[in-house]
Amino acid sequence: MLTEADACHMARCIELALQGAGSVSPNPMVGSLIVCDGSVIGEGYHMQCGGPHAEVNAIAAVSDPSLLSRSTLYVNLEPCSHFGRTPPCSDLIIEKMIPRVVVGCRDPNPKVAGRGIMRLRDSGVDVYEGVLEAECLRLNEAFITSHTKGRPFVALKIAETLDGRIATADGASKWITGSEARREVHRLRSTYDAVLAGAATVLLDRAQLTVRDVEGRNPLRVVLDSGLRVPFDAPVFSSDAPTLVFAAGRMQGTTEASAAEKKGIEVVFVREVPGGLDLSQVLRELHRRDVLSLLVESGSRLSAAFVRAGLADKLLMFIAPKLFGADALPSFAPLAVEAPSGAVQLEFGQSKAFGRDILLEAYFQP
Protein backbone atom coordinates (compact mmCIF):
# COMPACT_ATOMS: atom_id res chain seq x y z
CA MET A 1 0.00 0.00 0.00
CA LEU A 2 1.25 3.47 -0.86
CA THR A 3 0.50 6.39 1.44
CA GLU A 4 0.73 10.18 1.30
CA ALA A 5 3.91 9.88 3.37
CA ASP A 6 5.47 7.93 0.47
CA ALA A 7 4.95 10.93 -1.83
CA CYS A 8 6.47 13.29 0.80
CA HIS A 9 9.55 11.07 1.11
CA MET A 10 9.89 10.92 -2.68
CA ALA A 11 9.70 14.73 -2.83
CA ARG A 12 12.63 14.79 -0.38
CA CYS A 13 14.56 12.37 -2.66
CA ILE A 14 14.10 14.86 -5.52
CA GLU A 15 15.35 17.70 -3.31
CA LEU A 16 18.43 15.68 -2.37
CA ALA A 17 19.06 14.61 -5.97
CA LEU A 18 19.07 18.23 -7.15
CA GLN A 19 22.17 18.85 -5.06
CA GLY A 20 24.06 16.83 -7.67
CA ALA A 21 23.03 19.16 -10.53
CA GLY A 22 26.08 20.18 -12.53
CA SER A 23 28.39 17.53 -11.06
CA VAL A 24 26.93 14.08 -11.80
CA SER A 25 26.53 14.15 -15.59
CA PRO A 26 26.66 11.84 -17.55
CA ASN A 27 25.09 10.04 -14.59
CA PRO A 28 21.54 10.86 -13.45
CA MET A 29 20.63 12.96 -10.40
CA VAL A 30 19.52 10.60 -7.65
CA GLY A 31 18.51 11.08 -4.03
CA SER A 32 17.61 8.39 -1.50
CA LEU A 33 15.99 8.22 1.90
CA ILE A 34 15.68 5.45 4.48
CA VAL A 35 12.65 5.53 6.75
CA CYS A 36 11.99 3.32 9.77
CA ASP A 37 8.75 3.51 11.78
CA GLY A 38 7.92 6.83 10.12
CA SER A 39 11.27 8.48 10.92
CA VAL A 40 14.02 9.28 8.46
CA ILE A 41 17.13 7.40 9.60
CA GLY A 42 19.37 7.98 6.58
CA GLU A 43 19.68 10.31 3.57
CA GLY A 44 22.07 10.46 0.68
CA TYR A 45 22.47 11.59 -2.91
CA HIS A 46 24.73 10.93 -5.86
CA MET A 47 27.32 13.68 -5.49
CA GLN A 48 29.73 13.13 -8.33
CA CYS A 49 30.07 11.06 -11.47
CA GLY A 50 32.06 7.96 -10.53
CA GLY A 51 31.25 8.39 -6.83
CA PRO A 52 28.95 6.20 -4.71
CA HIS A 53 25.30 6.07 -5.73
CA ALA A 54 22.56 7.72 -3.64
CA GLU A 55 21.36 4.42 -2.11
CA VAL A 56 24.90 3.58 -0.94
CA ASN A 57 25.25 7.01 0.72
CA ALA A 58 21.80 6.77 2.35
CA ILE A 59 22.54 3.29 3.75
CA ALA A 60 25.96 4.44 4.99
CA ALA A 61 24.29 7.34 6.82
CA VAL A 62 22.19 4.99 8.98
CA SER A 63 23.80 4.88 12.41
CA ASP A 64 22.04 1.69 13.58
CA PRO A 65 22.22 -0.83 10.67
CA SER A 66 20.00 -3.28 12.58
CA LEU A 67 17.05 -0.98 11.70
CA LEU A 68 17.52 -1.56 7.97
CA SER A 69 15.70 -4.91 8.04
CA ARG A 70 12.45 -3.10 8.93
CA SER A 71 12.91 0.05 6.86
CA THR A 72 11.74 1.44 3.53
CA LEU A 73 14.25 2.78 1.04
CA TYR A 74 13.04 5.59 -1.22
CA VAL A 75 14.83 6.49 -4.43
CA ASN A 76 13.76 8.64 -7.38
CA LEU A 77 15.38 6.36 -10.00
CA GLU A 78 15.35 2.57 -10.19
CA PRO A 79 18.36 1.06 -8.35
CA CYS A 80 21.04 -0.20 -10.74
CA SER A 81 21.61 -3.87 -11.41
CA HIS A 82 24.95 -3.82 -13.23
CA PHE A 83 28.60 -3.36 -12.37
CA GLY A 84 29.64 0.10 -13.58
CA ARG A 85 32.09 2.26 -11.69
CA THR A 86 30.38 0.94 -8.53
CA PRO A 87 28.72 -2.43 -7.67
CA PRO A 88 24.92 -2.87 -8.20
CA CYS A 89 22.75 -1.01 -5.66
CA SER A 90 20.00 -3.65 -5.92
CA ASP A 91 22.49 -6.22 -4.54
CA LEU A 92 23.35 -3.93 -1.62
CA ILE A 93 19.63 -3.48 -0.77
CA ILE A 94 19.18 -7.28 -0.83
CA GLU A 95 22.32 -7.82 1.25
CA LYS A 96 21.13 -5.31 3.88
CA MET A 97 17.74 -7.08 3.94
CA ILE A 98 15.73 -3.89 3.36
CA PRO A 99 12.19 -5.26 2.92
CA ARG A 100 10.46 -2.38 1.08
CA VAL A 101 11.62 -0.11 -1.73
CA VAL A 102 9.71 2.81 -3.29
CA VAL A 103 10.92 3.92 -6.71
CA GLY A 104 10.03 7.15 -8.55
CA CYS A 105 10.69 6.02 -12.12
CA ARG A 106 12.44 3.33 -14.11
CA ASP A 107 15.94 3.80 -15.46
CA PRO A 108 15.89 3.93 -19.30
CA ASN A 109 19.57 2.97 -19.46
CA PRO A 110 19.48 -0.34 -21.40
CA LYS A 111 21.93 -1.77 -18.83
CA VAL A 112 19.20 -1.34 -16.16
CA ALA A 113 15.72 -0.84 -17.76
CA GLY A 114 13.61 -2.74 -15.22
CA ARG A 115 16.30 -5.27 -14.28
CA GLY A 116 17.07 -3.53 -10.97
CA ILE A 117 13.42 -3.77 -9.92
CA MET A 118 13.14 -7.36 -11.14
CA ARG A 119 16.23 -8.37 -9.17
CA LEU A 120 14.76 -6.87 -5.99
CA ARG A 121 11.36 -8.53 -6.50
CA ASP A 122 12.98 -11.88 -7.29
CA SER A 123 14.68 -11.65 -3.89
CA GLY A 124 11.41 -10.99 -2.08
CA VAL A 125 11.70 -7.21 -1.69
CA ASP A 126 8.35 -5.34 -1.92
CA VAL A 127 8.87 -2.77 -4.69
CA TYR A 128 6.44 0.07 -5.40
CA GLU A 129 6.91 2.09 -8.56
CA GLY A 130 5.70 5.37 -10.01
CA VAL A 131 5.53 7.60 -6.91
CA LEU A 132 5.76 11.22 -8.19
CA GLU A 133 6.73 9.63 -11.49
CA ALA A 134 6.18 12.76 -13.64
CA GLU A 135 8.37 14.84 -11.31
CA CYS A 136 11.05 12.15 -11.24
CA LEU A 137 11.08 11.88 -15.04
CA ARG A 138 11.36 15.66 -15.34
CA LEU A 139 14.21 15.81 -12.83
CA ASN A 140 16.28 13.55 -15.07
CA GLU A 141 14.94 14.79 -18.40
CA ALA A 142 18.48 15.13 -19.78
CA PHE A 143 19.60 11.64 -18.76
CA ILE A 144 16.36 10.12 -20.08
CA THR A 145 16.49 12.00 -23.41
CA SER A 146 20.09 10.95 -23.89
CA HIS A 147 19.20 7.26 -23.44
CA THR A 148 15.93 7.28 -25.34
CA LYS A 149 16.76 9.64 -28.23
CA GLY A 150 20.52 9.29 -28.57
CA ARG A 151 21.02 13.06 -28.40
CA PRO A 152 21.28 15.75 -25.71
CA PHE A 153 18.20 17.30 -24.10
CA VAL A 154 17.87 20.70 -25.81
CA ALA A 155 16.57 23.79 -23.98
CA LEU A 156 16.19 27.06 -25.90
CA LYS A 157 16.89 30.01 -23.61
CA ILE A 158 15.47 33.29 -24.87
CA ALA A 159 15.17 36.73 -23.27
CA GLU A 160 12.35 38.64 -24.95
CA THR A 161 10.15 41.67 -24.58
CA LEU A 162 6.40 41.35 -23.96
CA ASP A 163 5.88 41.72 -27.70
CA GLY A 164 8.20 38.80 -28.47
CA ARG A 165 11.37 40.69 -29.54
CA ILE A 166 14.93 39.62 -28.68
CA ALA A 167 16.94 42.56 -30.07
CA THR A 168 16.34 46.00 -31.52
CA ALA A 169 16.36 46.51 -35.28
CA ASP A 170 20.15 47.04 -35.27
CA GLY A 171 20.75 43.84 -33.28
CA ALA A 172 21.29 45.32 -29.79
CA SER A 173 20.04 42.99 -27.04
CA LYS A 174 21.95 44.10 -23.94
CA TRP A 175 19.98 44.13 -21.79
CA ILE A 176 16.40 43.05 -22.16
CA THR A 177 16.04 41.48 -18.72
CA GLY A 178 17.28 42.71 -15.34
CA SER A 179 20.17 41.50 -13.20
CA GLU A 180 18.13 38.86 -11.28
CA ALA A 181 17.08 37.12 -14.50
CA ARG A 182 20.62 37.30 -15.87
CA ARG A 183 21.96 35.74 -12.68
CA GLU A 184 19.47 32.89 -13.16
CA VAL A 185 20.88 32.37 -16.67
CA HIS A 186 24.35 31.97 -15.16
CA ARG A 187 22.96 29.45 -12.65
CA LEU A 188 21.30 27.55 -15.50
CA ARG A 189 24.57 27.48 -17.44
CA SER A 190 26.30 25.90 -14.46
CA THR A 191 23.78 23.01 -14.49
CA TYR A 192 23.95 22.25 -18.24
CA ASP A 193 26.72 20.18 -19.79
CA ALA A 194 27.10 22.56 -22.73
CA VAL A 195 25.94 25.99 -23.90
CA LEU A 196 25.55 26.70 -27.62
CA ALA A 197 25.29 29.89 -29.66
CA GLY A 198 25.44 30.80 -33.36
CA ALA A 199 28.22 32.82 -34.94
CA ALA A 200 25.92 35.83 -35.39
CA THR A 201 25.21 36.10 -31.66
CA VAL A 202 28.80 35.40 -30.65
CA LEU A 203 29.99 38.21 -32.93
CA LEU A 204 27.28 40.78 -32.17
CA ASP A 205 27.08 40.25 -28.41
CA ARG A 206 30.73 39.35 -27.83
CA ALA A 207 29.23 36.49 -25.83
CA GLN A 208 31.45 34.66 -23.32
CA LEU A 209 28.97 31.92 -22.39
CA THR A 210 30.64 31.39 -19.00
CA VAL A 211 29.32 31.26 -15.43
CA ARG A 212 30.17 34.55 -13.75
CA ASP A 213 27.38 35.87 -11.52
CA VAL A 214 27.05 32.72 -9.38
CA GLU A 215 29.28 29.94 -8.03
CA GLY A 216 29.47 26.98 -10.38
CA ARG A 217 31.46 25.23 -13.03
CA ASN A 218 31.63 26.44 -16.61
CA PRO A 219 29.90 24.28 -19.21
CA LEU A 220 31.50 23.28 -22.52
CA ARG A 221 30.99 26.20 -24.95
CA VAL A 222 29.77 25.32 -28.43
CA VAL A 223 29.76 27.73 -31.39
CA LEU A 224 28.08 27.06 -34.73
CA ASP A 225 30.20 28.91 -37.24
CA SER A 226 29.84 27.48 -40.77
CA GLY A 227 32.52 29.70 -42.35
CA LEU A 228 34.85 30.06 -39.33
CA ARG A 229 34.27 33.81 -39.28
CA VAL A 230 34.45 34.33 -35.50
CA PRO A 231 38.00 35.59 -34.73
CA PHE A 232 39.93 33.24 -32.45
CA ASP A 233 40.64 36.04 -29.96
CA ALA A 234 36.89 36.58 -29.37
CA PRO A 235 35.73 36.33 -25.70
CA VAL A 236 34.07 32.97 -26.42
CA PHE A 237 37.57 31.48 -26.81
CA SER A 238 38.82 32.76 -23.44
CA SER A 239 40.77 30.29 -21.32
CA ASP A 240 37.91 30.01 -18.76
CA ALA A 241 36.41 26.91 -20.39
CA PRO A 242 36.86 24.70 -23.46
CA THR A 243 35.13 25.81 -26.67
CA LEU A 244 34.13 23.47 -29.46
CA VAL A 245 33.42 24.91 -32.90
CA PHE A 246 31.23 23.30 -35.56
CA ALA A 247 31.97 24.41 -39.11
CA ALA A 248 30.98 23.35 -42.61
CA GLY A 249 32.87 20.49 -44.22
CA ARG A 250 33.93 22.85 -47.02
CA MET A 251 36.16 24.69 -44.50
CA GLN A 252 38.41 21.67 -43.99
CA GLY A 253 42.00 22.43 -44.98
CA THR A 254 41.42 26.22 -45.27
CA THR A 255 43.69 28.83 -43.68
CA GLU A 256 40.96 29.52 -41.06
CA ALA A 257 40.92 25.83 -40.12
CA SER A 258 44.68 25.66 -39.73
CA ALA A 259 44.66 28.91 -37.71
CA ALA A 260 42.17 27.26 -35.32
CA GLU A 261 44.38 24.20 -35.06
CA LYS A 262 47.44 26.37 -34.30
CA LYS A 263 45.45 28.10 -31.53
CA GLY A 264 44.45 24.71 -30.09
CA ILE A 265 40.76 25.30 -30.87
CA GLU A 266 38.93 22.13 -31.77
CA VAL A 267 36.79 22.33 -34.90
CA VAL A 268 34.35 19.59 -35.92
CA PHE A 269 33.33 19.66 -39.56
CA VAL A 270 29.75 18.73 -40.36
CA ARG A 271 27.33 18.66 -43.30
CA GLU A 272 25.47 21.75 -44.47
CA VAL A 273 21.73 21.71 -45.02
CA PRO A 274 19.48 24.56 -46.20
CA GLY A 275 19.73 27.25 -43.46
CA GLY A 276 23.07 26.26 -41.99
CA LEU A 277 24.81 23.33 -40.38
CA ASP A 278 23.08 19.98 -39.93
CA LEU A 279 21.84 20.27 -36.33
CA SER A 280 21.18 16.51 -36.02
CA GLN A 281 24.82 15.82 -36.81
CA VAL A 282 25.91 18.47 -34.29
CA LEU A 283 23.76 16.84 -31.59
CA ARG A 284 24.99 13.34 -32.45
CA GLU A 285 28.58 14.52 -32.04
CA LEU A 286 27.78 16.18 -28.68
CA HIS A 287 26.05 12.98 -27.53
CA ARG A 288 29.17 11.01 -28.45
CA ARG A 289 31.08 13.38 -26.16
CA ASP A 290 28.76 12.66 -23.22
CA VAL A 291 26.88 15.96 -23.44
CA LEU A 292 23.49 15.12 -21.94
CA SER A 293 22.04 18.61 -21.67
CA LEU A 294 22.43 21.55 -24.03
CA LEU A 295 21.38 25.13 -23.33
CA VAL A 296 20.93 26.97 -26.63
CA GLU A 297 21.31 30.73 -26.26
CA SER A 298 20.11 31.40 -29.72
CA GLY A 299 18.95 34.28 -31.81
CA SER A 300 15.98 34.22 -34.15
CA ARG A 301 17.41 31.91 -36.78
CA LEU A 302 18.91 29.28 -34.57
CA SER A 303 15.82 29.04 -32.35
CA ALA A 304 13.65 28.55 -35.43
CA ALA A 305 16.10 26.03 -36.90
CA PHE A 306 15.99 23.83 -33.77
CA VAL A 307 12.18 23.99 -33.66
CA ARG A 308 11.77 23.25 -37.38
CA ALA A 309 14.11 20.27 -37.09
CA GLY A 310 12.04 18.94 -34.16
CA LEU A 311 15.15 19.03 -31.98
CA ALA A 312 13.99 21.38 -29.20
CA ASP A 313 12.67 19.86 -25.96
CA LYS A 314 12.09 22.84 -23.72
CA LEU A 315 11.72 26.59 -23.93
CA LEU A 316 13.09 28.78 -21.15
CA MET A 317 11.51 32.12 -21.94
CA PHE A 318 12.55 35.11 -19.85
CA ILE A 319 9.95 37.81 -20.48
CA ALA A 320 10.63 41.46 -19.67
CA PRO A 321 7.78 43.96 -19.25
CA LYS A 322 8.98 46.04 -22.23
CA LEU A 323 8.00 46.59 -25.84
CA PHE A 324 10.38 46.96 -28.82
CA GLY A 325 7.81 47.11 -31.64
CA ALA A 326 7.57 45.39 -34.99
CA ASP A 327 10.86 46.67 -36.46
CA ALA A 328 12.82 44.74 -33.80
CA LEU A 329 14.07 41.14 -34.15
CA PRO A 330 11.45 38.47 -33.33
CA SER A 331 12.23 35.52 -31.03
CA PHE A 332 11.71 33.08 -33.86
CA ALA A 333 12.53 33.40 -37.57
CA PRO A 334 9.75 31.99 -39.82
CA LEU A 335 8.46 28.60 -38.71
CA ALA A 336 6.34 27.96 -41.84
CA VAL A 337 3.11 27.77 -39.85
CA GLU A 338 0.35 28.18 -42.44
CA ALA A 339 -2.73 27.85 -40.24
CA PRO A 340 -3.40 28.08 -36.50
CA SER A 341 -3.98 24.33 -36.51
CA GLY A 342 -0.40 23.88 -37.70
CA ALA A 343 1.13 25.83 -34.80
CA VAL A 344 4.09 24.42 -32.93
CA GLN A 345 2.51 23.00 -29.77
CA LEU A 346 3.97 23.40 -26.30
CA GLU A 347 2.80 22.71 -22.80
CA PHE A 348 3.47 25.15 -19.98
CA GLY A 349 5.76 24.02 -17.16
CA GLN A 350 6.67 26.20 -14.19
CA SER A 351 6.87 29.97 -14.07
CA LYS A 352 8.87 32.12 -11.70
CA ALA A 353 9.52 35.83 -11.21
CA PHE A 354 13.06 37.21 -11.27
CA GLY A 355 12.93 40.86 -10.26
CA ARG A 356 10.57 42.54 -12.76
CA ASP A 357 10.90 39.69 -15.26
CA ILE A 358 9.19 36.31 -15.55
CA LEU A 359 10.71 32.98 -16.53
CA LEU A 360 8.18 30.80 -18.30
CA GLU A 361 9.05 27.17 -18.98
CA ALA A 362 7.30 25.31 -21.76
CA TYR A 363 7.81 21.84 -23.20
CA PHE A 364 7.65 21.12 -26.93
CA GLN A 365 5.06 18.48 -27.70
CA PRO A 366 6.02 15.67 -30.06
Ligand X SMILES: NC(=O)c1ccc[n+]([C@@H]2O[C@H](COP(=O)([O-])OP(=O)(O)OC[C@H]3O[C@@H](n4cnc5c(N)ncnc54)[C@H](OP(=O)(O)O)[C@@H]3O)[C@@H](O)[C@H]2O)c1
Hey, CA dihedral for 144, 145, 146, 150, is it positive or negative? positive
Among 115, 276, 293, 316, binds ligand X (CB under 6 A): 276
Instruction: Rule CB under 6 A: choose which of 28, 31, 88, 198 binds ligand X.
Output: 198
285 is catalytic: no
Beta-strand runs (E) in 215-260: 220-224, 243-248
The number of C-alpha atoms within 13 Å of 208 and in the hemisphere containing its C-beta is: 12
CB 230, min distance to ligand X, A: 8
User: Which of these ranges, 33-41, 84-92, 103-111, 276-284, lies near ligand X under the rule CB under 6 A?
Assistant: 276-284
Contact call for residue 176 and ligand X (CB under 6 A): yes
Q: Is 201 annotated as a binding residue?
A: yes
Which runs of E-coded beta strand occur in the chain? Answer: 31-36, 39-45, 71-77, 100-105, 126-128, 153-161, 165-167, 194-198, 220-224, 243-248, 266-270, 272-273, 276-277, 293-296, 314-320, 329-330, 346-354, 357-364
- Write b or e for each residue in 122-159: b if 16 or more Cβ atoms lie within 10 A of its Cβ, otherwise e: eeebebeeebbeebbbbbbbbbbbbbeeebbbbbbbbb
Residue 145 touches ligand X, criterion: CB under 6 A: no
- Say whether residue 277 binds ligand X (CB under 6 A): yes
Residue from 55, 78, 184, 256 carrying the catalytic annotation? 55
- Taking CB under 6 A as the criterion, which residues in 327-346 touch ligand X? 329
Burial of 257: CB neighbours in 10 Å, binned 0-12, 13-18, 19+: middle
| Coil/strand/helix, residue 90 | helix
- 155 marked as binding residue: no
Is 335 known as a binding-site position? no
Counting contacts by CB under 6 A, is residue 222 touching ligand X? no
299 is in an annotated binding site: yes
The answer to whether 80 is a known ligand-binding residue is: yes
- Contact flag: residue 283 with ligand X (CB under 6 A): no
Instruction: Tell me how far apart the alpha carbons of residues 102 and 129 are, in angstroms, rounded to a whole number.
Output: 6
- Residue closest to ligand X (Cβ): 299
Q: Which is nearer to ligand X, 85 or 229 (CB)?
A: 229
Residue 25, interface with ligand X (CB under 6 A)? Answer: no
Q: Is 23 annotated as a binding residue?
A: no
Q: In b/e form, how buried is each residue of 190-229, taking b as 16+ CB within 10 angstroms?
A: bbbbbbbbbbbbbbbbebbbbbeeeebebbbbbbbbbebe
Complex with ligand X: residue 107 or 160, whichever CB lies closer = 160
In 3D, which of 89, 60, 55 has the Cα closest to residue 73? 55
Binding mask 223-262 for ligand X (x = CB under 6 A): -xxxx-x---------------------------------
Residue 153 or 324: which CB sits closer to ligand X? Answer: 324
Annotated catalytic residues are 55
Positions in the binding site for ligand X (CB under 6 A): 158-159, 166-167, 171, 173, 176, 198-201, 204-205, 224-227, 229, 275-277, 279, 297-302, 305, 329
Instruction: List residues forming the annotated binding site.
Output: 53, 80, 89, 159, 173, 175, 189, 201, 205, 209, 212, 226, 297, 299-305
Instruction: List residues forming the annotated binding site for substrate.
Output: 173, 189, 209, 212, 297
